[in-house]
Structures are given as C-alpha cells and as structure tokens.
Amino acid sequence: MPPHPESWLRVTPQGLYCEPGGFFIDPQRPVDRAVITHGHADHARPGHEAVLATPATLAIMRARMGEAGAGTVQQPIRPGETLVQNGVAIRLVPAGHVLGSAQVVLDWQGSRAVVSGDYKRQRDTTCAPFEPVNCDVFVTEATFALPVFRHPPPEEETAKLLKSLALFPDRTHVVGCYALGKCQRLIRLLREAGWEAPIHLHGALATLCTLYETLGVPLGPLAPATVANKAALKGAIVLAPPSAVQDRWARRLAEPVVAVASGWMRVRQRAKTRGVELPLVISDHADWDDLNRTIDEVGAPEVWVTHGRDDALVHAMALRGIRGRALHLVGLGDEEDDAPQPEAAA
C-alpha cells in the first residue's frame, strides 16, 4: 500500500517540507533546498542555498532579488522534465498564474501529491495554461474561496477601461496593477482589444515588462510615465503599482481616473474606501467556481488548503465526499496586490 502523503509531506514553520526528498516548497525562511512555484514575493523569498524552479521563475527571481538572492545553486526544470531527488520524482506543470508559474508534482513510492501554488483557469496569453494532474492529495490556495467571488471575463473588464477612455479623452487613466503578472496580462488584454498607442509605465513596473518581452511575451509600445510631462499623458493609459495610484504621484496626473485591476475589486466597499473610481475585476487567482471545478478535475480524495478562505472550501468539498484539511500556512498571500490589505493602507 503506497504511503499517505501525510507521512512524507509535512507542514513545518518554514512551510511544506518533503521529508524523503529533503526540500521545502515555497519556504518562508532561508533553507538549504527549495522548490519555488512562482516568482511572487510571498512564494519566492531570498536567501536559499539550492533553488529548483522553472527557467522563467528563476529569471524572475534574479530580476527581483539579484543573482545572490535567487539562490546559490539555481536548478531549472523544464516542462516535461522529471528530476529525482532522494527517490522523490519532481515535475513542474503549468499553473496558469503568472509567467513561469508551476504546480509541483511529487511522486514517492506510488503516492502522488500536487502542490499547486497559486493558480487560475481563466485565459492568460502571458503564460502556459493550468494543467490538471490526477493525484492522491491536491494542495490548493483559497484566496477567493467564497461563492461571492466569481470573476467576470477579463475582456469585459478591459472594455470598461476603454469605454471610460472614450468618454473622458482628456483624462489620464491610471490603473493600479501588480508588477509581476497582472501588469503584463493587462497590457496584452489591451492590445487584443485594439489599443495600439504606447502604454505608460510607472518606474516600478519597467523591469519585469522588459523581462517578459525577453522571455517571449510581446507587449507592444511602452513608455515611461513621466508625471512632469502631464500634458502628454492626457488620454493615456498609465500603469502603476496599486500603492502608487493612491498617493500623490497619481494626483499629479491630468484629472486622473483611478482604476485598480484586482480580484478584490469585486468587493465594492473595498474599491470605494480605496478611492478607486473604476474597479476592474481582473484576477490571477481561481474564483469560487474554478477552485471547485479544479478540485473535481484532479480527482484527489483529499485536498489541503494552504491559505485564504479555507472554511467555505473545506465545507463545499465535504458535501462532495472530499476530505479537506486547512494547513494555515503563514506568510502566503501577504505580498500580492490580490492579498487582503489593511483598510488603513487605503
């Protein structure tokens, strides 16, 4: 009888630890051996010795944390490759979350666990789509695991932004979006919708856009958002980190229309208290329906929930005969714009 993943994949203060393999997945503190699902700061922390990840995630880690921060020994695993570490077979399978994002598929003595990291099922032309893998234990996030969270098609949200630009052609439309993933996805959505003009970027977003282009994701004409040149930004789209759209930086633009692209914009009150005039519900996380659909597709009899709204998800799974377990991993969901933020920060 194959061992239950509970006996070889353990929750520790640093995060999930594969005991026979001797490595952590997305550890929160520096460790000897880490497998990293994707480059967001709450998953890819600096200071590990050996780091195993997709080539794109390693490139993103180097761009954000420097060569040293991305691990002393960096080991890329390409799609389709299997690496065996102390008898544990490791594969990285696309998670559809951001460029390079992967689920960690672990096989040990006939038992399989899939640690999905963050993921989504909506179309995203900046990264490979999520692939369901059958397993004994599926480890899932639950950022938007409440029935109220149903993300509309991102194309509809993009159309709202373009409609506002047509209505207010003299106002600068400044959109708050996270630097890794959301920013590039939004640019691609705008290009698909026919916006060919240069898209202006706050300085904090430039590095990762350049990296995406280097890694084969074309973004079209981009230009720096120089606030001093206010007149030139009339009727332009400016992308900036969510924190910047709420501070003085954005108010110096020409009659700005403040937008934010985030799954949390589904909560109208949150948009309102943060002074967001144009909330765009665009998320890189699975919504309620997609979480449940994915759990059904992978066919695991047991599902572990790393962080987020675990109660509702565990309850919904129990009704379908799936055993749910809340792991309460700390540190995840803290660094992204999609994470709940204290209202004081608004």
Q: Which two tokens stand for residue 311?
A: 């109660």
- Told to check if 338 binds Zn ion by CB under 5 A, we report no
C-beta closer to Zn ion: residue 44 or 174: 44
C-beta closer to Zn ion: residue 117 or 324: 117
Window of 33-41, 61-69, 216-224, 254-262 that interacts with Zn ion by CB under 5 A: 33-41
Window of 7-15, 110-118, 273-281, 322-330 that interacts with Zn ion by CB under 5 A: 110-118
Taking the complex as a whole, the smallest distance from the CB of residue 278 to Zn ion amounts, in Å, to 24
Residue 18 per-residue DSSP state: E
CA distances, 120 to each of 70, 143, 282 (Å): 25, 11, 11
Name residues contacting Zn ion, limited to 116-175 (CB under 5 A): 118
C-beta closer to Zn ion: residue 178 or 304: 178
C-beta closer to Zn ion: residue 26 or 302: 26
Name residues contacting Zn ion, limited to 294-333 (CB under 5 A): none
Q: Label each residue of 166-226 as H, E or C.
A: HHCCCCCEEEECCCCCHHHHHHHHHHHCCCCCCEEECHHHHHHHHHHHHCCCCCCCEEECC
Window of 111-119, 132-140, 222-230, 256-264 that interacts with Zn ion by CB under 5 A: 111-119
State the number of CA atoms in the 13 A half-sphere of 123 facing the CB: 9
List alpha helices for the chain, DSSP H.
55-69, 154-167, 182-192, 203-214, 242-245, 248-251, 268-273, 288-298, 310-319
Taking the complex as a whole, the smallest distance from the CB of residue 229 to Zn ion amounts, in Å, to 33
Which is it for strands 278-280 and 222-224: parallel, antiparallel or unpaired?
unpaired
Taking the complex as a whole, the smallest distance from the CB of residue 118 to Zn ion amounts, in Å, to 4
Residue 59 to residue 67: CA distance in whole angstroms: 9
Window of 35-43, 145-153, 273-281, 286-294 that interacts with Zn ion by CB under 5 A: 35-43
- Told to check if 40 binds Zn ion by CB under 5 A, we report yes
Q: Are 62 and 47 in contact (CB under 8 A)?
A: no
CB-based contacts of 47, cutoff 8 Å, min separation 6: 29, 30, 69
**Closest by alpha carbon to 152, among 289, 281, 293?**
281
Taking the complex as a whole, the smallest distance from the CB of residue 40 to Zn ion amounts, in Å, to 4
- Told to check if 107 binds Zn ion by CB under 5 A, we report no
C-beta closer to Zn ion: residue 118 or 124: 118
Taking the complex as a whole, the smallest distance from the CB of residue 46 to Zn ion amounts, in Å, to 16
User: How many residues touch Zn ion (CB under 5 A)?
Assistant: 2
Residue 248 to residue 118: CA distance in whole angstroms: 32
Taking the complex as a whole, the smallest distance from the CB of residue 235 to Zn ion amounts, in Å, to 32
Q: Are 170 and 146 in contact (CB under 8 A)?
A: no
Taking the complex as a whole, the smallest distance from the CB of residue 260 to Zn ion amounts, in Å, to 17
Taking the complex as a whole, the smallest distance from the CB of residue 339 to Zn ion amounts, in Å, to 9
Residues at the site binding Zn ion, with contacts judged by CB under 5 A:
40, 118
